[in-house]
A and B are shown apart, each in its own frame.
Chain A
């Protein structure tokens, strides 16, 4: 076998290196057999479980009352009409109904307050806020990956509900092509590549960053407490960058399910449904690959519901929720419902992408939990009770699934608290004022 053929093989398979009688030998074997244990749940070499991952999916404007709550609670529930699209994943999902966002006398900023409670557990009083739950989880599970988290916006813009403590919002990426370059561009190190040569420029960058570290930090001495916190956020971001460089300089652990997706061509990003649909599909694929390749363990998706818009219509999804009459015969707003179904189809598509990456007997979806939340239960009247919440994935066995849990009148933050505890965030309570809770949803904790 000449070198050329060998290299080709090596790039498609993983290489086991060893030595026999002092002479280096290289043996190519199919990776699933060599790196995973028999269940596919752990790396054979170290016995370490495949890491758990977390995701959020923020889809505004709720569902139609009477069309989504399953008629029975507990396991074996049957999906109501609006959620039947999730039937293939029913046993690997949970539906939580009945919870509320509490205003505590604060004014309702429609399509804002709900998101704040969903993501931060409380209504902030100023620009500076607490960290969002995904950030709390990322600080536990995402510190050793290239990206602490990845945010995308379906429908254009850079809206994101992922916040660090203080005033920093992790901005969403609206362009799949830009996301591809960010993750799989020149700085990506394929964990399964046979050869690894650290780049001289990367090593020099790392040294230069070290050389200016003290010079940068002395700024901290000159500012007040509020600005110190903002600088701390900056330095925390710089550490993430240093972490990326460190990872680029060492050979990554092989991840058998990791394959590099094909290049992504530039697409139009914006709120027109055909563009959003196309981009949602690519985003899903890229995030599945990024998770399988160990580039991040937290992904946040904002589906920009409010601006979404069918080509040729004078209305957006949001304006339709207020302005479209309820059809007398159907009992709901037909065009709004079309958008709900469309958005749910995007979420299912995302789950399929995650489930499509096989790792032994499981999939990436199995070691994840994706928390689906919304801003208003019924957008037509801006209600914030009887909220729909969904969780997809078992988080590597940390969650029980296949359940409909009804928690009438309870704060929705119970679910956020449950997620954070499941992922090891050391908190007993979460949320502010009436949204504060110390009760997890024990039904779904494994």
Chain B
């Protein structure tokens, strides 16, 4: 391969990389602009509370069963794994406390976020996307109704409220699972289990999880609704928008988790 060919290939690679970076920056800019429109329209009348409650029901109530199942088994698995590790150094009485702290700070908000991104984030993109391709959004605009205010605002506010609530449910049911396995199957002393839990667990641990879950809810809904509004080209576009909403919703939860943790451990 001569030097000219190598240079051309390198040029193309650099161009592709540049184009990807520019696309990424454009995408971030577009989402930021969309978020600013959300804030603008959130404070504008009319406030459609019935839409907010509909979305709270959809995101919160309809995710409850899957959150209960996931929380219960996460707590049980975590207790089992921790028990066998801690038993080696005779600190198995700390199982309840360790599981509770792990759940409250990390697992409850992150797993709830991932579940909601998969279930509600995808549904938001699919609903809004199909409304876009069937001109229902145009119909709203022609009637003089702002589509961001009507479709995005209630979904984003509802997710910001519902995800921390689901995360608290996840935390409690996870601890219940941990207690069940820890004291009934692994035979950890119940009094010790609760006493250590009380010694090591603080309200700030729960607060950290709740704050994270609120941010995750907000971001998942912004991404879900944003990709819904970006849908073009019929059913294929709806599928693509839904897929992007789930992928970016989940990735955002995981990336944000690191930055939020770094920030919250310093202030709480």
Partners in one complex: no
Binding site for B on A (CB under 8 A): none
Chain B contacts to A: CB under 8 angstroms: none
